[in-house]
Amino acid sequence: MNWWHRAHNTPLAVVVLTATMLAVPLLGGSAVPIPSLLAGMSAGIPVALALPAVPAALTLQALNRVPRVYDTTAVRPVTSYRAGMLATTALIAVAIGLAATYVADSSMALAAARNFVGYLGTGLIIQQLLGHLYGPLAVTLVPVLCALIGLAPGGRPYPWTWPLHQAPSAIAATASLLLITSGTAAASFFTPRGAARRASN
């Protein structure tokens, strides 16, 4: 297993994720100034809700360092390694989010953990459908698009803009869980679009 982690540079992804989650409680009410096209206001999106896109994109890049077709043809059970890495990063994010929520008495860290899980699942699905180059890109665009068109007049997020919901939101939690479950299944059992072609070139 150690060779797989070295090849995919998973320690760096875990370190960045941990640092990001630990930084969330320190961000307070900081927001990225992105104007809302539908709400008619410039409230922006809390940095703590957008920042988890960075470790999510880095985790996807770590998984993509070795062409997927090589993993599927390897003698060792690398499918379980991929699933294990995804599960581990999700658990790390949730564990730190819960601990930070308890220590800092703020639910923002838990919302950030939820968003990391959802962003990661979104990227896994996108790169399964479109190719490995588009997964990290999609992850970085999700919070931006949500800020641009995800707020209704008055500043209330639409139900489908789960990254903007507060931590207690059942809709956001369900969406994140469905995304990471679907994405992990896709990454574990199916070859992404174009992977075989890249390996043969």
Is the whole model's pTM more than 0.75, yes or no?
Answer: yes
Task: List C-alpha distances in Å: 45 to 23, 126, 173.
Answer: 17, 23, 18
pLDDT beyond 80 at 58: yes
Phi, psi angle pair for 41, to nearest 5° = -150, 170
pLDDT beyond 60 at 25: yes
Q: How far apart are CA 161 and CA 66, in angstroms?
A: 32
CA atoms within 13 A on the CB side of 163: 31
Please state the length of the chain.
201
Q: Which residues contact 55 (CB under 8 A, 6 or more apart)?
A: 13, 16, 17, 20, 89, 93, 116
Which residue's entry shows tokens 């574990």? 188
- For the segment 101-123, what is each residue's pLDDT rounded down to a tens digit? 888 888 899 999 999 999 999 99
Q: What percent of the chain has pLDDT over 90?
A: 43
pLDDT beyond 90 at 93: yes
Q: Select the more confidently predicted residue: 198 or 165.
A: 165
Which of 78-82, 103-107, 148-152, 161-165 has the highest average model confidence (pLDDT)? Answer: 161-165
Residue 181 CB coordination number (10 Å): 12
pLDDT band, residue 124 (cuts 50/70/90): very high
pLDDT beyond 50 at 144: yes
What pLDDT, on a 0 to 100 scale, did the predictor assign at position 23? 92
